[in-house]
Amino acid sequence: MKKILLLVVMSVFLICPTVFALPVGTALEGVFNFIASDGTNDVDVYNDHLSDSSDSYWNITASGGSVASFIIEIAGYADSNTFGIYDLANSNNRLEVFSGSATTGKKVFITVDGTNTFEVNGNSAVFSSSSFGYYINVAATGNTYFSDTSLNVDNYDHMLAYAGIGELVDLDGVAGTKFTKGAWTANEYILAFEDLLGGGDQDFTDLVVMVESVQPVPEPATMFLLGTGIIGLAGARKKMRK
């Protein structure tokens, strides 16, 4: 059985080769330090992000919905980049959360009901389940990059996700509109995007948002491949024994 599991894992990597990303330079670290109340963020941007297989799809954990807070864009395409959520069964079924060069510090509510109807900014869409992914659309290049790396045209990981560890953060200086300082907790994540094909400069500051009351869920595509692979290989082994 161990040999079967090893073959399945190897087959997944052969079928879906991806490029795992790490931030280059100090730009993202500077953004994190900027929102930290004491000026020094305790999250290590180079090592503390979720694994690529853990940040593909998400669920809302609060009955009132999830809040997305726009932090910053440091990008040449800032005026045309958009951010939103998409249906895990159909990445073309999307809801935009932030459009173009959004106002830094802006807060938007993302809600979902019992029929998997998501609503953002008065617009709604029915998804296949209560799980969803995040995306960045780069209108200037015509590319859309998804939290599920396997959907990206370049097979590059364009989104890094960081969970809070309880330190105080403050969006006052970023926003222009005053918000209450508070702890960045474990159910709040900062999502940092890279908007250039193949990773570009890999600074991951092209669009940075904080999302609250969410949690990551296992990647359905990977789970499906593993499940069907194990069943298929187990069946083949049984036939060989006969």
Pairing mode, if any, of strands 159-163 and 207-212? Answer: unpaired
Tokens 């940075």 — which residue?
208
- Per-residue H/E/C for 126-187: ECCCCCEEEEEEECCCCEEEECCHHHCCCCECCEEEEECCCCEECCHHHHCCCCCCEECCCC
Sheet of 66-72: strands edge to edge?
Answer: 123-126, 117-120, 107-112, 66-72, 207-212, 188-193, 159-163
What local confidence, expressed as pLDDT, does residue 76 receive? Answer: 82
What local confidence, expressed as pLDDT, does residue 219 receive? Answer: 66
Nearest alpha carbon to residue 191 among 110, 93, 91:
110
Query: How distant, in Å, are the alpha carbons of 12, 126, 134, 188 from that of 62?
Result: 33, 19, 18, 12
Beta carbons of 4 and 233 less than 8 angstroms apart: yes
Domain parsing of the chain, residue ranges: 2-6+21-235
What local confidence, expressed as pLDDT, does residue 78 receive? Answer: 83
Q: Which amino acid is at 100?
A: G
* Position 206 pLDDT exceeds 60: yes
Stated as kind and residue range, the H or E segment containing 83 is strand 81-87
Compare 80 and 231 and report the one with higher pLDDT. 80
Q: What is the torsional sign of CA 83, 87, 92, 96? A: negative
Nearest alpha carbon to residue 135 among 102, 96, 106:
96
pLDDT tens by residue, 83-92: 999 999 999 9
Query: What's the mean per-residue pLDDT of the chain?
Result: 82
pLDDT tens by residue, 11-69: 443 444 556 678 888 999 999 998 898 889 999 999 999 999 999 999 999 988 998 98
Lowest-confidence region among 6-15, 148-157, 209-218, 224-233: 6-15
- DSSP SS3 for 226: helix
Count of other CB atoms within 10 angstroms of residue 108: 20
pLDDT tens by residue, 75-110: 888 888 999 999 999 999 999 999 876 666 788 999
Model-level pTM? 0.81
Lowest-confidence region among 9-18, 109-118, 169-178: 9-18
* Position 72 pLDDT exceeds 70: yes
* Position 173 pLDDT exceeds 70: no
* Position 234 pLDDT exceeds 70: no
Please tell me the distance from the alpha carbon of residue 171 to that of residue 112, in angstroms, as a whole number.
26
What local confidence, expressed as pLDDT, does residue 17 receive? Answer: 53
Compare 230 and 103 and report the one with higher pLDDT. 103
What local confidence, expressed as pLDDT, does residue 181 receive? Answer: 76
Please tell me the distance from the alpha carbon of residue 38 to that of residue 73, in angstroms, as a whole number.
22
Please tell me the distance from the alpha carbon of residue 131 to that of residue 221, in angstroms, as a whole number.
13
* Position 241 pLDDT exceeds 80: no
